[in-house]
């Protein structure tokens, strides 16, 4: 018998915030090339520099033992990872895990939605930035809108009662579709969150030129719908509004205009096993060497995670006026 693991009941950072939510990227690869997330010509990591699915499962199990109750699997596009379904089945019913969530571009849902539901996934977030097929292809560079729409339908048919669209609004690119996207969400009886573009990675447009504040989007929507502020919380950074008479919640994720750092309960793990304590900062702990150097002993991993709480920063430092992005890594690298 090995020695008993010394595991805390909860992860508390230096500011007294409880970390009970991890976002784990299982691949940096994606079948889309969205303009705010990736360069057009991306170089992806070699396979041996990416966490194995077994390592991903081990990480999730350790974090759940440490009081994490919500896990979001991201990428890149997580559903293009070969055998990703095994991971969902392995972690989907862990004791103490209240919510297993996936963020996807929707391209694989037509084939995988039912299996995800059966594995224990509770909620699906689907990135959709345009309902115009030509514009959708321009934003994603390669994406097929109809495939994504079929994926949304497949998720509904699989019985997911928590489906949410994520829409990044960009001035002069798709900001004229904010209302159409909301109408679509209402018609589909699903939720939607509007997201301010984040300054991560070098992209082919000046973000200060394309920035749309969520306050402006909210004002536009309020001209057409009676949005009522809600205290609901999905465990993440979105602030929600309700539309009476509909099933739709409208969320706003506002890293620039109303940051959410004071209540941050999240950490992110890249597909390389890098534990980022903040999306907008470079504070990081490498977990992959601990996983591989101690394959049968989780204590070094536990100790590193506990110690990382002392370097979790108070908040990010996003500033649109900067000539360079706040963080040079692409969103696809850190995880969506």
Q: How many CB atoms lie within 10 A of CB 211?
A: 18
Return the higher-pLDDT residue of 41 and 205: 41
Contacts of 142 (CB under 8 A, 6+ apart): 31, 32, 33
Over residues 30-54, mean pLDDT: 85
> If pLDDT is split at 50, 70 and 90, which confidence band does 260 have?
low
> If pLDDT is split at 50, 70 and 90, which confidence band does 6 have?
very high
Kindly report, residue by residue over 200-215, the tens digit of the pLDDT. 544 454 556 788 999 9
- Helices (H), ranges, the chain: 53-65, 84-91, 109-119, 133-140, 145-157, 178-188, 207-210, 214-222, 288-293, 299-308, 331-334
What gap in Å lies between CA 68 and CA 31, rounded to an integer?
Answer: 30
Kindly report, residue by residue over 116-159, the tens digit of the pLDDT. 999 999 999 999 999 999 999 999 998 999 999 999 999 999 99
pTM recorded for the entire structure:
0.89
Percent of the chain with pLDDT over 70: 87
Helix axes 133-140, 145-157, angle to 10 degrees: 100
What gap in Å lies between CA 77 and CA 157, rounded to an integer?
Answer: 22
Domains and CATH numbers, the chain: 11-334 (3.20.20.70)
What's the token pair of residue 242? Answer: 């309700």
Kindly report, residue by residue over 276-332, the tens digit of the pLDDT. 998 767 778 999 999 999 999 999 999 999 999 999 987 755 444 544 444 444 555
- Whether 24 shows a pLDDT value over 50: the answer reads yes
């Amino acid at each position: 018998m090995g020695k008993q693991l010394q595991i805390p009941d909860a992860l508390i950072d230096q500011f007294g915030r409880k970390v009970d939510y991890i976002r784990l990227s299982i691949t940096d690869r994606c079948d889309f090339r969205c303009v705010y997330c990736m360069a057009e010509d991306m170089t992806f990591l070699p396979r041996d520099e990416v966490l194995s699915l077994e390592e991903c499962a081990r990480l999730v199990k350790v974090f759940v033992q440490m009081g994490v109750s919500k896990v979001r699997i991201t990428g890149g596009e997580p559903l293009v990872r070969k055998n990703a379904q095994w991971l969902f089945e392995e972690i989907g019913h862990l004791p103490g895990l209240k919510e297993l969530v996936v963020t996807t571009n929707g391209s694989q849902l037509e084939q995988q939605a039912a299996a995800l539901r059966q594995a224990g996934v509770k909620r699906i977030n689907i990135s959709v930035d345009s309902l115009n097929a030509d514009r959708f292809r321009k934003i994603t560079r390669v994406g097929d809108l109809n495939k994504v729409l079929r994926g949304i339908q497949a998720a509904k048919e699989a019985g997911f009662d928590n489906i949410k669209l994520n829409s990044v609004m960009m001035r002069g690119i798709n900001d004229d579709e904010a209302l159409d996207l909301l109408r679509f969400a209402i018609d589909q009886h699903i939720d939607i969150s509007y997201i301010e573009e984040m300054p991560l990675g070098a992209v082919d447009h000046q973000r200060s030129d394309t920035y749309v504040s969520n306050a402006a989007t909210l004002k536009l929507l309020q001209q057409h719908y009676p949005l009522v502020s809600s205290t609901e919380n999905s465990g993440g950074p979105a602030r929600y509004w309700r539309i009476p008479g509909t099933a739709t919640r409208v969320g706003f994720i506002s890293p620039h205009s109303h940051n959410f750092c004071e209540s941050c309960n999240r950490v992110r793990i890249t597909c390389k096993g890098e534990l980022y304590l903040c999306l907008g900062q470079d504070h990081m702990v490498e977990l992959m060497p601990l996983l591989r150097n101690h394959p049968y002993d989780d204590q070094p991993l536990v100790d590193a995670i506990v110690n990382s709480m002392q370097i979790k920063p108070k908040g990010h430092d996003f500033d649109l006026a900067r000539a360079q992005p706040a963080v040079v890594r692409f969103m696809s690298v850190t995880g969506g």
